[in-house]
Amino acid sequence: MSRRTLLLLPAVLLASYGFQAARKTAAPIDPLIAGFHKTTVASVADAVDQVCNRRGFLSHDVRPFVAGKVVGRARTSLVKPAAPEQATPALAVKSSVDMIDSAKQGEVGVIVVEGSLDVAGIGGLMATAAKSRGMAGVVLDGSVRDIGEIRAMGLPIYARGASPATAVSRFAAIARDIEVTCAGVNIKPGDIIVAGEDGVVAVPQDQAMAVLKRAQEIDERETQMVPFIKQFRSLTKAIEKFNRI
């Protein structure tokens, strides 16, 4: 059969000749990410406290401007105040743009806009790029703009504020994929971000398995506590029995 004839044949006939369309290979599922998807943000926060002996929860004012649970490995970007000649459109958020353009599916952008909540660290164009790359969401120690546009595309955004102001002429990129301090917590590239309605938690990647195990234990204990409280109508007895509140 000639190549021209093959091109003219419909797919169903090609299948009958033993030709199969190429299929994309699905990305392997990270068991840690899958596990954290099933836990609650509060349990993860408690687990980081207990396993890492330090806080993993970001400041209380980091909240969902575009809602949605977010779980994924962190990619980071840092921008700082700069003179207008150093804060051109090409340089103002270059580290954030480079971070997004090199992101893998399921990763979470962590953008620190140092020293100001009056300037947006992400807007509709950057969010469009992040969504097209398959990023799980973005967390900002800073503000967000174009919220309606981002909400329409369904990219979860957690930020400390909202502002219409641009970073251009005000801020300049410093670096990407470095350790940053985001809303009170040190975050390294590869740390696991877990975010939901309760807030945002960063899990150190070198202790992630132990944190996940502890979070699962906490979830299981609370699952047992709920019917106990309903049965005995006493939170005091539940605390005594399960040593948990």
| Banded model confidence at residue 86, pLDDT cuts 50, 70, 90 | confident
| Banded model confidence at residue 241, pLDDT cuts 50, 70, 90 | low
Q: What is the pLDDT of residues 101-149, one digit of tens each?
A: 999 999 999 999 998 999 999 999 999 999 999 999 999 999 999 999 9
Residue 147 has what pLDDT? Answer: 98
Structure tokens at 165: 């102001």
Class of 31-205 in CATH? alpha beta
Which spans in 134-242 are helix H? 147-153, 208-232, 235-242
Q: What is the mean pLDDT of residues 196-208?
A: 97
Q: What is the mean pLDDT of residues 154-175?
A: 95
| Banded model confidence at residue 4, pLDDT cuts 50, 70, 90 | very low
Q: How many whole angstroms separate alpha carbon 95 and alpha carbon 149? A: 23
Q: 88-94: long-range contacts at Cβ-Cβ below 8 A with a sequence spacing of 24 or more? A: 88/168, 88/169, 89/168, 91/172, 91/173, 92/166, 92/167, 92/168, 92/169, 92/170, 92/171, 92/172, 92/173, 93/121, 93/126, 93/167, 93/171, 93/173, 94/173
